[in-house]
Structure 1
């Protein structure tokens, strides 16, 4: 992947070629959209916001042309732009102007939070809306394929769809920006990415919001807007917890296997995200990394 980034950085023409080809491939294999977003972010961080926006437009135009010709609808391309391109560019602009991963992460959290609030304003009952969508779209497929499922488990999952989509969006957008920042570090500033990531610490305002949401969640029903927003905050604090974990392994000169095991647990056990978020929340006041640095 680093060779791809190196090719894209040879000039605007090469960056355009890379985005056009990857955007075209992502029509058939969606995960390639991660690389499209990463190149847009890298061009934004290394060259300028305007060049990053131009690269984004090229990717969007290619996707629109292909999707409309194949399906007759432009919506899949719009969804792809919202999933991999536009939010990533906006977060990259903040990172370029401030040089702060924490502020970039907070910007992504605000965007996702506003999206969740907007969804609740437009849809009076999100759970009912997702239930109807499930019954109309997925249930017939499950019945035809003979797949068995637990009704109670499915109802519980439907109640979490809005929150899970918010968590997914935040994790995806910021991870793409981190990939672009890592590319930039490897190509131009060796070792800088590690320093920046180790120092990632969200403002205390985020911690206060997390505490407020937790209190309202305890006295509420455990569902609705507060529940969905709490997932977004937990996902943001998770990145701070990961930064602490990476910093700890580096300072203690521990084996990288610890980090590998942590990411495996994060993938297999959703509770790991909550543990990391709790560590990140406590670190807002305790400042673990600075304490450990002073001890040495």
Structure 2
């Protein structure tokens, strides 16, 4: 993927060509949007906000136009823009002006949190809303194929669908930003990305909010509180990962340990809670600096 970054950095024309091609491909194969977002981040971080905004505008118009031509609706393009492009540019803008991955991550959490609150206010009971979505779009597919509909599974899924989507977008946006930052480091400042990642530490007010939401969650089963807790866990998870990476480097441990951690993260969602807890503790205890002093 570094070859994409090298091509983009050859000049403005190459950046626009890569953006246009990948934006069209995103409408067909969604994961190409990750590369579009990373290009937006790289141009913003390396060249400037205005140039990043130009690349963003080109990507948005191309994606929306391609979606309209291929599906007759602009909405698939709008989804791709929200999923891969516009929030990434905002996060890149913060990173460029503050040089802080933690503040960029905080912005991602803020956007997702406000989105969750707006969604609850607009639809009311989110579980009922998701049930209607599944009954309208998913159930007919099972009926047409003659496959038994796993009603219990989808019933459980409707209760956590908003939480999962909120956590997903935070992880996706920040991962794209990290890819853009890694490209910048690999091309221009080798080793800088690792130092930046090690320094991820969310502001204490985020940690205080996480504790408050957790305490409120003990006394209420409100769906909004549950969904907001997912937003906070997703952010604190990255801080926990920063602590884990720092520990492996500081103790000169085999990288196998990190590989095992990511396997656990993929196979067992409970690992997110463990990492988020480590990140929460690190906010006050400052685990990394304590290790550095020993």
TMscore range, shorter length: over 0.9
Question: Where in structure 2 are the equivalents of 1:1-296 lying within 5 Å?
Answer: 1-148=1-148, 150-221=150-221, 223-295=222-294
Cα distance in 1 for partners of 2:202, 2:184 equals: 22
Cα distance in 1 for partners of 2:152, 2:138 equals: 16
Shift of 1:64: 2.0
Cα distance in 2 for partners of 1:212, 1:150 equals: 36
**3-state secondary structure, aligned to 2:201:** coil
**3-state secondary structure, aligned to 1:73:** coil
Q: Say if 2:42 and 2:184, in contact at 8 Å, map to a contact too.
A: yes
Cα distance in 1 for partners of 2:277, 2:157 equals: 23
With normalisation by structure 1, the TM-score equals: 0.97
Cα distance in 1 for partners of 2:227, 2:259 equals: 29
Unaligned runs of 5+ in 2: none
Cα distance in 2 for partners of 1:45, 1:194 equals: 16
Unaligned runs of 5+ in 1: none
Shift of 1:115: 0.5
Cα distance in 1 for partners of 2:99, 2:202 equals: 14
Cα distance in 2 for partners of 1:237, 1:189 equals: 27
**3-state secondary structure, aligned to 1:160:** helix
Cα distance in 2 for partners of 1:72, 1:153 equals: 33
Shift of 1:153: 2.7
Cα distance in 1 for partners of 2:17, 2:154 equals: 43
Count of aligned pairs: 294
**3-state secondary structure, aligned to 1:30:** coil
With normalisation by structure 2, the TM-score equals: 0.98
Cα distance in 1 for partners of 2:148, 2:187 equals: 50
**3-state secondary structure, aligned to 2:124:** coil
Shift of 1:173: 0.2
Cα distance in 1 for partners of 2:63, 2:157 equals: 32
Q: What is the aligned-residue RMSD (CA, Å)?
A: 1.0
CA 148–275 in structure 1, closer or farther in 2 if over 3 Å, else same: farther
Shift of 1:50: 0.9
